[in-house]
Chains A and B, each alone.
Chain A
Amino acid sequence: MLARIAHELYWLGRNLVRAEFTARVVDGVFQVELQGAAADASPGVVLGWSELLAMLGGVDERAARATREEALQQLTLDREAPASMRAAIERSREGARTVRDVISADMWEAINTSALTLRGDGEGGWLAPGGPYLSCQYVKERVALISGLADRTMLRDEAKAFLDAGSHMEAADMVLRILRVAFPPGDDAAAGGQALALLQAVGGFQAYRRAVPAPPNARPVARFLLFERAYPDSVAACVDSLHDALEAADASPRNSEPVLRLSRMAADLDFQRRTLPDEAEIGATCELVQQELARVDADLAERYFAGAATERRTTVV
């Protein structure tokens, strides 16, 4: 398939997952904050609006003083703000328009109507869901619908593989970013406390309760999000899926740098899961994994996308 199309599909996958994660995190923080948990003096991981903006919107001077209204605006329905859900969905729509002959018609229609609904200009009877809770809920549902349609209606060929590769890459990247913001380097207070807010923001609370007997304290939560392969959004599971997707797409996976690098990462994550001491600094581990993923991203562009710039649309922190 065309290098440009593969590149578009990869970014379509990334943008859709970015919208979904943004919705999840905003929803999570919104709920926690409403219930006053952030004001609670109990030590542990604190996720406020400033952290959220730093995590999703890149480093910004104003982020430090962000109010709830500003943050909500910038992260949900503001089309101009590059970090908003709506901007991510609009980018998906532009990308999907370009690859319209590759993805299925059902999938295109789902993406198209999602973008039109979020615009909410009433044309054709689509109305934007009101309020942050409903719009986040809407985006989560739509992305689930779109990825479901992709699984059910797309041919499982290279195109699907690159779409999947994009979404797994983005999921891993988002989880790593959240972890790095939640566990800033040299902050032991956070690492010792509880991390319920973090789990709720990522959306893995129920899965965690079922998988881990320990209470949601910071260290086990971080290990869960990094190493638990049974949880689909953990970094280890994403790396596994990314590896599988590229192996399927590549004609000679045994000579492929990104595939080889990913299998080494998968093995390394497994190794660390068993050997990493409990008191090791989580932020530092995350940083190493994130750097390695950035190299995979560069390898991908070199090998499959004819050297297309990977940071064309969004900056990766």
Chain B
Amino acid sequence: MSSDNPPSMTTEASSAPPERAYEPRPSFHDELFDDDGTPRPLAAALMDALERLGPAGLDDAGHRRDAIFLQQGITFETVGEDGPSRERPFPLDLVPRILSGPEWRTLKQGLAQRIRALNHFVDDVYHGREIVREGIVPWSLVAGRSHFARAVHGIRPPGGVYCHVAGCDLVRDSDGTWKVLEDNVRTPSGISYVLENRVAMARLVPDLFNAYRVRPVDQYPQLLLAALRSVAPSADTEATVVVWTPGPMNSAYFEHAVLARQMGVELVEASDLVVRDEVLYMRTTRGLVRVHAVYRRLDDDFIDPLEFRPDSMLGVPGLIRAYRAGTVAIANAIGTGVADDKAIYYYVPEMIKYYLGEVPLLENVRTYLLNDPEQLEFTLENIARLVVKPTGESGGKGVLIGPTATDEELTRMAAAVRAHPERWIAQEVVKLSTVPTAGRDGRLEPRHVDLRPFAVFGERISIVPGGLTRVALEEGSMIVNSSRGGGSKDTWVLEDGESDDRAESRLPDPLPPALPDLRYGGWTGQAQQQQQDAC
């Protein structure tokens, strides 16, 4: 993917003193340094602080970090070559990534717009299908998605919210513009690392925070809880909310536990839940207790063996019946996965125009839909410089990166695409931006990053400042998944006086209610009318 930049160019000898030896990779956008190697104004204070700390200090803090993470059990398991899996501390890079306030606001608005459109789309797919009738999205494409759920046709969840939790992956191209790489609206994970990274940074390298006012991230669990409560169908009592995990064997179990603990709700497994008479209950030490809202962290397929996969041991029989009866809210709503699909992703800018009547604020990466014969031909001709992805997968599974693939892989992929063009999409290669990252001996080197901000949709959309920055720790690599040698960074959004966390633009001040015998608009309206009459 990066073969056009031989590594020798980045390590070219320079006359600068060693502490300034950081050189951004040419033809990539570096977020903290200009092309000539001087820090951007935003990063100047950070670089000074890092210089005071020195490479040895940074390296030392790294060792302390590993010890603390192991002690607290913030680990993930990698399967070693000798068989048994080993627990490794989650690789947090101690150099933060910085986003300015105005930049973040633009991103936030773009994300909120996108999530609102996706939410409209899911609602539409299971009800009127207006967007299909308009001829914007073909029905065969929608119905052919693996996550399309026929079982929930016609069910509208409380508040009309489907995508309660969304995490869109954003990347930055070589000219610095933000683009959406994919939409995760099923069960996006990673928020716990955002929370833990901030705590760890404040403990390990407090000096870096000195010159900055960084917006906090720790309100996320409360935002999520409030959103879940707001959609829970509970009339008079405080709604009972639970987090549903597939179990301790799940790779994201740590996150499920963190969220449950910080929200102060129960972390349940399937064996704790039971449906009686279209109502969901959990088994407690004092008998059955009704559950009003479930934040589930497993896919539709496994959720109810009566409606989806009958062999699922993780599901609760009868859950869909309860859901259909409206006695329980499920987040994210069942069937949301239809919008979490790379073929649907192609249409999101269209959706924004169609449902919201707005111009998309965030661009898609240039994508080719392969069931269109012309685009298919183009892709097959240019497969060596494109990225080909399966539509229904996530986590980087089955992705072919043209520029780094062997001829054999390319031929095999071309055959697979030709056989089932509807299962694949092709995208232009994005030249991911870089951020300085601590190397082995504490020296800074450019590494590629992406960003996954987390949005919570309850009564309104809230987005936690920043999000999870994933970083490819290998030189030149653009694969940021933690299972494949990726790490993460703390993402700082700087305070700039606008403390408002609301993602939507501010609503106009409400007019005073009309008096019963006056026409709508109250005094204002009447006064205007009188003026008009006088004219």
Contact = CB atoms under 8 A, between A and B. Distances in A.
B499 interface: no
Given A100-B261, A108-B73, A125 B67 contact: yes
A109 B261 CA distance: 15
Nearest to B70: A124
B257 A100 contact: yes
A267 B72 CA distance: 44
A124 B257 contact: no
A313 to B, nearest CB: 14
B248 interface: yes
Interface in B240-261: 248, 253, 257-258, 260-261
A125 B216 CA distance: 33
Contacts of A6: 285
A97 B248 contact: yes
A124 B66 contact: yes
B284 A1 contact: yes
Given A101-B257, A105-B72, A304-B285, A4 B67 contact: no
Nearest to B289: A2
Contacts of B73: 97, 100, 108-109, 112
A4 B283 CA distance: 8
Contacts of A304: 285
Interface residues of B, number: 24
Given A112-B72, A124-B67, A101 B271 contact: no
A96 to B, nearest CB: 9
Looking at B66, B73, B260, which has the most chain A CB atoms within 10 Å of its CB? B73
B266 A5 contact: yes
Looking at A5, A105, A249, which has the most chain B CB atoms within 10 Å of its CB? A5
Give the size range of A's interface with the partner. Answer: 20 to 34
B268 interface: yes
A109 B72 contact: yes
Given A94-B248, A101-B260, A3 B70 contact: no
B3 interface: no
Interface string A83-101: 0000000000010011011
Contact of B70 (A2, A97, A101, A123): A123
A3 B71 contact: no
Interface in B336-392: none
A278 to B, nearest CB: 43
B286 interface: yes
B286 A251 contact: yes
A175 to B, nearest CB: 27
B267 interface: yes
A306 interface: yes
A316 to B, nearest CB: 22
B272 A98 contact: no
A97 B77 CA distance: 14
B462 to A, nearest CB: 23
Contacts of B268: 2
A105 B262 CA distance: 11
Contacts of A1: 266, 284-285
A247 to B, nearest CB: 13
A29 B387 CA distance: 67
B331 interface: no
A153 interface: no
B278 interface: no
B202 to A, nearest CB: 16
Interface string B273-295: 00000000011111000000000
A308 to B, nearest CB: 9
Nearest to A123: B70
A109 B260 CA distance: 18
Contacts of B70: 116, 123-124
B74 to A, nearest CB: 10
B269 interface: yes
A123 B286 CA distance: 43
A9 B260 CA distance: 17
Contacts of B267: 5, 101
B285 A124 contact: no
A92 to B, nearest CB: 13
Interface in A159-194: 162
Contacts of A3: 272, 283-285
A102 B66 CA distance: 25
B409 to A, nearest CB: 36
A158 B284 CA distance: 11
A113 interface: yes
A113 B87 CA distance: 13
Contacts of A305: 285
A249 B285 contact: yes
B63 to A, nearest CB: 9
Contacts of A113: 71
A305 B283 CA distance: 9
Contacts of B286: 251
Nearest to B264: A101
Interface string A103-126: 001001100110010000001110
Given A101-B267, A306-B283, A4 B272 contact: yes
Interface in A1-58: 1-6
B272 A2 contact: yes
Nearest to B286: A251
- Which 9 pairs from chain A and chain B are nearest by CB? A101-B261, A304-B285, A124-B70, A101-B260, A306-B283, A3-B283, A100-B257, A6-B285, A101-B257
6 contacts: A5-B266, A5-B267, A102-B261, A112-B71, A112-B73, A162-B285
Interface of A: 1-6, 94, 97-98, 100-102, 105, 108-109, 112-113, 116, 123-125, 158, 162, 249, 251, 304-306
Given A4-B283, A124-B66, 10 more contacts: A1-B284, A2-B283, A2-B284, A3-B272, A3-B285, A101-B261, A102-B261, A123-B70, A251-B286, A305-B285
